[in-house]
Amino acid sequence: MDAKAKWAVGRMPLAEGVQWVLRYALGDELLQGIWDEHRGRCYDKTISFPLLVWLTRDALVEFNSGHESFVKHQADRTLETSVQAAYGKLGRTPVAVSQGLLLQATRRLRELFPDWACWQTPASLRAFRVLIYDGKAIKRVAKRLKSCRGAAGGLLGGRAGVAVAWQTGLALAMRGDVAGAANAGKHCGELVPQVCDEFDSPRLHVSDRGFCDLRQPEHFTRRPGDRFLVRYHPKVKFHRDESVAARSSTNELGQSIVETWGWLGSEQDKRRRRVRRIELVRQDADNVILITDLLDADE
C-alpha cells in the first residue's frame, strides 16, 4: 500500500470502509463462480445467487430481518418475486455453496488483512500457523410447522465444523451437516486438508475435547511438520510413561502446572500416540488438561 492509498484509507469513514471491503470480498463475479462450481442440480432463474447474498447482507446490516429485507427490495423492484420464493431459494441452497462462499470470501479478506494487526504467537511457536477447530450445533430452532407449535421440547438444527486462523481471527473454512447430533470431529478428514492448502508453513492444530480421540491426530499430522494441541477427554485413556519424571511449575496466577509423558490409547491400538500431558490445577474449577505431540517441553 503506497502513501496515497494509506492517506485515503485514513480519511475513509469506518462504515464506508466496511462497505468497500464487502464489495471486494463478495463481488458478483466471485459469487457467480462459487454458485456454478457448487450448485449441484440447483439452477438460476429470477433470483441469482449474487442477489440472494446481497439480500441476506442487507437483512443483517441494514434491516431487522430477512422478511423486511425482502419486502423492501420488492418495493424497489430489486426482488422481482414473492417473499415466499426468496425464502424457498434460500432454503434450497446447497450446503456446499455456503462452504465455498466462506472459503473464497475469506481468501479475499486475507489479501486485505494488514500484518501489523495479526496476533503474535509466543516465540516458541513462531514457526507454526495456529489453526483452531470447533463444532457448533444450531439450537433453539423456531417451530415453524403448525403441527409442532405448542409442543414441548426443542428442535436441534444442523451442525458446522469450522476452522479459524488464530493470528487473524478469520474463519477459513467449514463443513456443514444437517444432523445437529453429528460428532464435532466427523468432517475433520475433509476440513483439515482444505485448510492446510491455504498455508505453506507448518501448522499447529488446536481443538477442544470434542476432537480428542485417536482418529483426529491422524488428520492433524498428515503433513510433515504439523503438530496438535487438544483438550483431553477421558473417553480416551492416557497411559503414563513411568520412566520419565513428571515436571511441575507455577504460572503467573500461582496455579500449579504438572507435565507428564506417555501414550494416548492402549498398547493394542495401532493408532496409539506418544504425547505430553499438561494439567493446569485450579482450586475453584475443573482442572484443564491438554494433550499434545509437542514433546519437548523446553523447546
pLDDT digits (tens, 9 = 90+) for 71-123: 999 999 999 999 999 999 998 999 999 999 999 999 999 999 988 889 999 99
Of 12-21, 241-250, 261-270, 285-294, minimum mean pLDDT range:
12-21
Per the model's pLDDT, the better-predicted residue between 290 and 178 turns out to be 290
pLDDT at 218: 94
pLDDT at 150: 78
Is the pLDDT at 38 greater than 90? The verdict is: yes
Q: Which residues contact 296 (CB under 8 A, 6 or more apart)?
A: none
Tell me what percent of the residues of the chain surpass a pLDDT of 90.
68
Is the pLDDT at 1 greater than 70? The verdict is: no
Which backbone phi and psi does 157 adopt, to 5 degrees?
A: -85, -155
Give the type of residue at 64: N
Give the type of residue at 167: Q
pLDDT at 79: 92
pLDDT at 259: 97
Beta strands in 98-226 (DSSP E): 129-137, 159-165, 171-177, 203-207
* Alpha helices per DSSP H over the chain: 3-11, 14-25, 28-38, 49-61, 66-75, 83-92, 95-112, 188-196, 216-220
Mean pLDDT of the chain: 90
Beta bridge mates, 204: 130, 227
Per the model's pLDDT, the better-predicted residue between 46 and 148 turns out to be 46
d(CA 2, CA 213): 49
pLDDT digits (tens, 9 = 90+) for 132-180: 999 887 777 777 778 777 777 777 777 888 999 999 999 999 998 777 6
d(CA 84, CA 73): 13
Is the pLDDT at 17 greater than 80? The verdict is: yes
Q: Cell numbers of 228, please?
A: 496438535
- DSSP classification of residue 276: E
pLDDT digits (tens, 9 = 90+) for 224-249: 999 999 999 999 999 999 999 999 99
Q: Cell numbers of 94, please?
A: 446447497
Radius of gyration of the chain, Cα coordinates, nearest whole angstrom: 24
d(CA 220, CA 229): 10
d(CA 48, CA 81): 12
pLDDT at 18: 85
Q: Which residues contact 272 (CB under 8 A, 6 or more apart)?
A: 214, 263, 264, 265, 266
